[in-house]
Structure 1
Amino acid sequence: MTIAVAAAAVATATTSGVSQAGTVNAATPVQNIKWGECDKDVGDGLPLPEGMQCGTLKVPLDYQKPQGRTIDIAVSRLPSKNPEKRRGILLINPGGPSPGLGYQAVLVAAKMPQAVLDSYDLIGFDPRGMGRSTPVKCDLTEEQQLFGNIPPYARNTADVAKRAEQSQQIAEQCAASDTAWMLPYVSAKNTARDLDSIRTALGEQKASYLGASWGTYLGAVYATMFPERTDRVVLDSNLGPAGWDYESQRLWSQGVDDRFPDFAKYVAANYREYGLGRTAAQVKAKYLQLAARLDRTPVKGPDVVWDGVLFRLITFAYSYAATQQPALAGVFKALEANQPPPPLPASENAKATAAGADNLISARYYMICNDSHWPTSLQSYQRNVAIDRIRHPLFGAAGANVNPCAYWPKPVEEPVRIGDNGPSNVLMVQNLRDPATPLAGAEQLRKALGDRARMVTADQGGHGVYLLNKNQCANTAATSFLLTGRLPERDYHCSADAAPR
């Protein structure tokens, strides 16, 4: 899942949910998409690929009332330029949950193989409630937007109680906002129905899918609800089978534990530049000392106060990619010298947040809080924070902390239960040391999907596998499946290669 910080009463979807999904879609009026030129800023600073088009699809707000109120879904298309090789459509989602209307620009910039671009029309979209789709908001203040959707590191029970008060206030604002009429209907379940509406509008019998991070949960939901309408499904950097729920949030702590040694090795190997330790163990010890010192005595910068909460959060945010390691090491070095760090390079997600922080952060709460059941007891959060602070001192007291989902209205539909009913057409790719969607969660999803899926793991760190970390073995697995549809006979592992760690 990307982050928004400076870096940023009906049937369940079991077998009955599948038939329900088909019935609902059959009763939904078929809409057409009128294609036109995309706004230039759709690509978040990246050039839009030649021939890319954008349009809008109207879908039911409530799929149980298909003739009722509608909302807009912003859709984009990068058509195949090779009719002889074109297979169909590839629905794409970058995770987050975040807007994905311009995701084609990211994939093309990351050198998606031409054979894949020839085989599919790449179909991007902004999930309901986000971006250029009918947007939602919670009227968040700047302070409420500060750490995005990531709970702050809690040093004690009082910090958890304070965060609980803030979370309850945000939940109440969301329920009272001008867009609260959408609140019960922004969910992965309805977003999957939107995907099937897009497929129908494009006149396709089936749709393939490529999703990353939170997009793996959306893809798993779509493949569960519409198993006979999914063609080839690639899930990259996988959440557990319940999506972004409290248990997956707590797994961030394990993810940071898995990933931090890569950063510590980099810093130790560059001791002359950073002076933070000659071994990875010394770097970790220095990190824990510095975080504790910043808890007591923050460093004031021109625009922000660097306390232990922000330091730990930036460490999490900047562990996504090897290219972020120098910037993070620079933060570490400056704060160790009691100096404010230089400005950090803005991440793609940070740019999106700056442009529409209230919508992005609010829509994420709408989505994830409707998708699962969260604990409601303050004492349970305080207990879990105390446990994880000891078990996972790097980030445990953040991952276990409370968020507004604890105070959310009861969802109108039960979340989808991911299962193994359907064709064997899901390929999962996963890094061993992913801070945001750790291997432990991916293994849970792999078990839930059963014989529907195979999983390819890569001996590398960071968030994102396909096209991002340049592991040739893992990239070849995903590309080959998209082109041939043949799953490996069994799960397998890719060793580290020349990719950055």
Structure 2
Amino acid sequence: MRIRSPRSLVVATALSLGAALLATPLVTSAVAGAAETSAPTQFRAEPIDWGRCKDAFLRQSGAKCGLLTVPLDHAVPDGPTIQLAVSRVAHKGSTYRGVMFTNPGGPGGAGTYLAAYGQFVPGKVGRSYDWIGVDPRGVGDSRPALSCDKRIAEIGTRPSYYPTTDAILQAWLTKSEHYAADCGASASAALLPHMKTTDTVADFEVLRAALGAEKASFYGFSYGTYLAQVYATLHPDRIDKLVLDGVIDPRGIWFDSQQEQNRAFEKAMGQFWRWTARAHRTYRLGSTGAKVEKTYYRIVKKLTKKPVNGVSGPEVADLTLSAGYGRYSWPDVASMLSEVVTKGTARKLRKEYTSSYPTVRDGDNGYAAYLATVCTDAPWPTDLDALLADYTRQDRTRHFLAWPNAWYNGPCRTWPASPGTPVDIAASDQQALLISETFDGATPFAGALDVRRRWRGASLIEGVGGTTHAGSLSGVGCVDNRIASYLATGKLPKRRSGDRSDVRCPAIPAPNPG
């Protein structure tokens, strides 16, 4: 599944399941080869014409919006161009610390709203930066925006995620192949060969030049942490400060990372099952974690066989997955499941699903953009028998996510654009503030440890025992105050000896039931 975007304290971006997924990349290639396609040395960046933002929250936050013109293919700087939607909340006061780039994750997450994120940094430190939000190429209000089949996730139309019969297996294989073919035949198909992480890094370099900045800081969430890793590797002299929250492991782009992600989600969901059991009087889903888990699979099986209010098993699975991304969603997910058990209806599930997966024009934009990057950043396995054997093996111990994740990424097997080679995130003295909770399901903690080992100048803050993904600036002072201190002074927490975190903070707390 996609790596997901961060949750804003005020914006209440409840992170719909369609917002982001998977992630964790691999280390194999030569930097030089990637740099050739990412350095826009001959493209002249034009200043951005800043104007009124369409989004009310951005306007209230004092943002201005505009469009950035970049090459479709950075290797052909005098060829066709595309436009990226960008936003800016300019610094306030006499202290100016430079430009702060942001990315919310995905790949495929629209990020213009993050220009307003500086206000959540404790004190007034955030105000001393120009915060820049971007809808990456092919995403959101950038043009063209990728779209292949707006009805791909239409409610009640998909078979069970679990291929217990040949018919179910063939249905998913056909669905995956058709979506890939639809992307290849879409109006925005010209983008597909140019959606790699290195392409987006090159876009940020054009943006830096357009803003007239010698260097830029970068606050990346989830996939945004990998984007920042590649940026710092290809353009180390252009990086100021780095804050990476929900750190992607650069060892398994992208297929291999799923196995670790599937394992991590199993642990994260275990915490949700146990929390729900402690609130059995409220939700009536089971008095132990094991019983709640059994109830969940019983609901999935029941609604797959006979949908309720148009909701089938795959929709239940999609919405329940959000509980593995963050504790803040636990009451809502438990309440949706409880309605099925106690009332026999699924109105809450239906309302949330149709909001998260709209079947409108460009409704699949985030999904299409996600695949366009994940399927081409590195080669994807194409041997069907080997793939099915691997997913079957994973399913034995990672039942919650193995098959749903397999089908989410299924179009990569026949994707209509050629893959590239991932950038080697080499060992260096790069400084960065890394943030991760111990049991983050989307970006397992091992990824943060790996980046800490590579970057000898980095420090790692651990949300001990937590399961929330990319949740910084959510009110945990131990984390947020250190972010503010680093952004103000450039001084990182002292590194400890050994392969471990440098600062241990409380995790984002579990919510009260209801």
TM-score range, shorter chain: 0.7 to 0.9
Post-superposition shift, 1:331?
2.2
The answer to whether structure 1 residue 99 and structure 2 residue 110 are counterparts is: yes
For the residues of structure 2 that align with 1:398 and 1:440, how far apart are their CA atoms? 23
The answer to whether structure 1 residue 25 and structure 2 residue 70 are counterparts is: no
Distance 1:349 1:444, change over 3 A: farther
How many matched pairs? 480
2:318 is paired with a residue whose SS is helix
Contact kept, 8 Å, 2:311 with 2:346, in 1: the verdict is no
Contact kept, 8 Å, 1:32 with 1:202, in 2: the verdict is yes
1:305 is paired with a residue whose SS is coil
Contact kept, 8 Å, 2:473 with 2:479, in 1: the verdict is no
Give the residue type in structure 2 aligned to 1:93: N
Post-superposition shift, 1:498?
7.3
Question: Residue by residue, what CA displacement relative to the aligned partner does 1:421-451 show, whole Å, maximum 9, x if unpaired?
Answer: 4x4222210111223222234444444x332
The answer to whether structure 1 residue 128 and structure 2 residue 143 are counterparts is: no
The answer to whether structure 1 residue 369 and structure 2 residue 375 are counterparts is: yes
CA RMSD for the aligned pairs?
A: 3.0
Question: Residue by residue, what CA displacement relative to the aligned partner does 1:60-102 show, whole Å, maximum 9, x if unpaired?
Answer: 11111112211112211100011x3111000011112211112
**Among 457, 475, 487, which residue is 2:492 paired with?**
487
The answer to whether structure 1 residue 500 and structure 2 residue 510 are counterparts is: yes
Contact kept, 8 Å, 2:34 with 2:421, in 1: the verdict is no
2:182 is paired with a residue whose SS is helix
Aligned twin of 1:399: 405
Aligned twin of 2:164: 156
Aligned twin of 1:54: 65
Aligned twin of 1:184: 193
Aligned twin of 2:421: 414
1:80 is paired with a residue whose SS is coil
Q: Counterparts in 2 of 1:87-486, with a 5 A limit?
A: 87-96=97-106, 97-105=108-116, 108=119, 111-142=120-151, 144-146=152-154, 153-156=161-164, 158=166, 159-241=168-250, 245-295=254-304, 297-301=305-309, 304-307=310-313, 309-337=314-342, 339-344=344-349, 346=352, 350=356, 356-401=362-407, 402-411=409-418, 413-421=420-428, 423-447=429-453, 449-459=454-464, 460-468=466-474, 470-486=475-491
For the residues of structure 1 that align with 2:159 and 2:128, how far apart are their CA atoms? 41
For the residues of structure 2 that align with 1:376 and 1:93, how far apart are their CA atoms? 30
**Which one is further off, 480-489 or 218-227?**
480-489
For the residues of structure 1 that align with 2:74 and 2:175, how far apart are their CA atoms? 33
**Which one is further off, 213-222 or 487-496?**
487-496
Contact kept, 8 Å, 2:19 with 2:366, in 1: the verdict is no
Post-superposition shift, 1:58?
1.1
For the residues of structure 1 that align with 2:225 and 2:32, how far apart are their CA atoms? 22
Contact kept, 8 Å, 2:463 with 2:508, in 1: the verdict is no
Post-superposition shift, 1:191?
0.5
For the residues of structure 2 that align with 1:347 and 1:483, how far apart are their CA atoms? 41
Post-superposition shift, 1:326?
1.7
Post-superposition shift, 1:120?
0.6
Contact kept, 8 Å, 1:160 with 1:382, in 2: the verdict is no
1:465 is paired with a residue whose SS is coil
Contact kept, 8 Å, 1:183 with 1:366, in 2: the verdict is yes
Post-superposition shift, 1:15?
4.4
For the residues of structure 1 that align with 2:169 and 2:487, how far apart are their CA atoms? 45
Structure 1 gap ranges (5+): none
For the residues of structure 1 that align with 2:331 and 2:71, how far apart are their CA atoms? 47
Distance 1:161 1:239, change over 3 A: farther
Contact kept, 8 Å, 1:211 with 1:234, in 2: the verdict is yes
Give the residue type in structure 2 aligned to 1:100: G
For the residues of structure 2 that align with 1:48 and 1:348, how far apart are their CA atoms? 27
Post-superposition shift, 1:116?
2.7
Post-superposition shift, 1:454?
2.6
**Among 7, 16, 34, which residue is 2:32 paired with?**
16
Distance 1:62 1:348, change over 3 A: farther
Post-superposition shift, 1:338?
7.0
TM-score normalised according to structure 1 size? 0.86
Aligned twin of 1:85: 95
Post-superposition shift, 1:465?
2.5
Post-superposition shift, 1:452?
4.5
